[in-house]
A = this chain, B = another copy of it.
């Protein structure tokens, strides 16, 4: 199934599943849609926090078809699930945005760890949460975001346990992909970045760390979602966690070197 075929199935309602594991060679994206009045400050927040908020594309006001992301795209219906927030609270969950769409809405597509996980797996690095068919473990940290306007807060990270040699290789591989979170932000002692209990992630599922492994932490796309929620804007739309936008962008094309 090509990304275009998948998007068509989503649009028609035929596909309503989490997108993990589909169209592996292609980048999936976190989606943030918000009114133009807040778009400049959110763009600045992304620019200042590129590890958490690597931008694949930003649309024009009202533009629900961002050609940079893929052909024949309708961002009002091509994601299998949307969350609509009003005043920082989840107001509704929907499969299509035609009712809430406005001409001043701006689309932000933010790179997703699925892309670099694909590259790690292709390099022979096993990822336990994928082998155990769980969600990755994610944690709030004490790493302060660089604030912009109403957006601030702390970085959320995802954690993958690895043997040291794999961790070194994973740093090499993910460093090539700054557009999908890039290199890890931390490894080793979780307490050094404010994680009190590694067995209790704030998001996702806990994953075991073996005695010969080290936890490796990447900046996570949940960071902007938390920043958006705390900003309590009148309207923000995001994808539902795990129900991503599947783009026509090849992961391999995102390599910086």
The interface size of chain A toward B, counting residues with CB under 8 Å, comes to: 18
Q: Which of A156-179 contact B (CB under 8 A)?
A: 164-165, 167-168, 171-172, 175
Interface status of A184 (Cβ within 8 A of chain B): yes
Could you tell me if A167 and B187 are in contact, using CB atoms closer than 8 angstroms?
yes
Could you tell me if A212 and B192 are in contact, using CB atoms closer than 8 angstroms?
yes
Could you tell me if B172 and A188 are in contact, using CB atoms closer than 8 angstroms?
no
A192 surroundings in chain B (CB, below 8 A):
164, 212
Interface status of A254 (Cβ within 8 A of chain B): no
A168 and B171 in contact, given A188-B188, A192-B212, A257-B257 (Cβ under 8 angstroms):
yes
Shortest CB–CB separation between residue A169 and chain B, in angstroms?
8
A189 surroundings in chain B (CB, below 8 A):
164, 212, 214
Interface status of A127 (Cβ within 8 A of chain B): no
A186 surroundings in chain B (CB, below 8 A):
164-165, 168
User: Given B172, B187, B257, which contacts A183 in the complex, CB threshold below 8 Å?
Assistant: B172
Q: How far is the CA of A212 from the CA of B193 in the complex (A)?
A: 10
Shortest CB–CB separation between residue A144 and chain B, in angstroms?
14
A195 surroundings in chain B (CB, below 8 A):
none
A168 surroundings in chain B (CB, below 8 A):
171, 183-187
Q: How far is the CA of A202 from the CA of B114 in the complex (A)?
A: 43
Residue of B nearest to A214 (CB): B188
Q: Output the residue of A167, A168, A189, A192 with the most chain B CB within 10 A.
A: A168
A171 surroundings in chain B (CB, below 8 A):
168, 171-172
Could you tell me if B188 and A165 are in contact, using CB atoms closer than 8 angstroms?
no
Shortest CB–CB separation between residue A72 and chain B, in angstroms?
36
Q: Which of A187-208 contact B (CB under 8 A)?
A: 187-189, 192
Shortest CB–CB separation between residue A223 and chain B, in angstroms?
17
Q: How far is the CA of A165 from the CA of B212 in the complex (A)?
A: 21
Query: 7 A-B Cβ contacts within 8 A?
Result: A165-B185, A168-B171, A168-B185, A171-B172, A172-B175, A172-B183, A188-B214
Given contacts A171-B171, A192-B212, 12 further A-B contacts (CB under 8 A): A164-B187, A165-B186, A168-B171, A168-B185, A172-B175, A172-B183, A175-B175, A187-B187, A188-B214, A189-B212, A189-B214, A257-B257
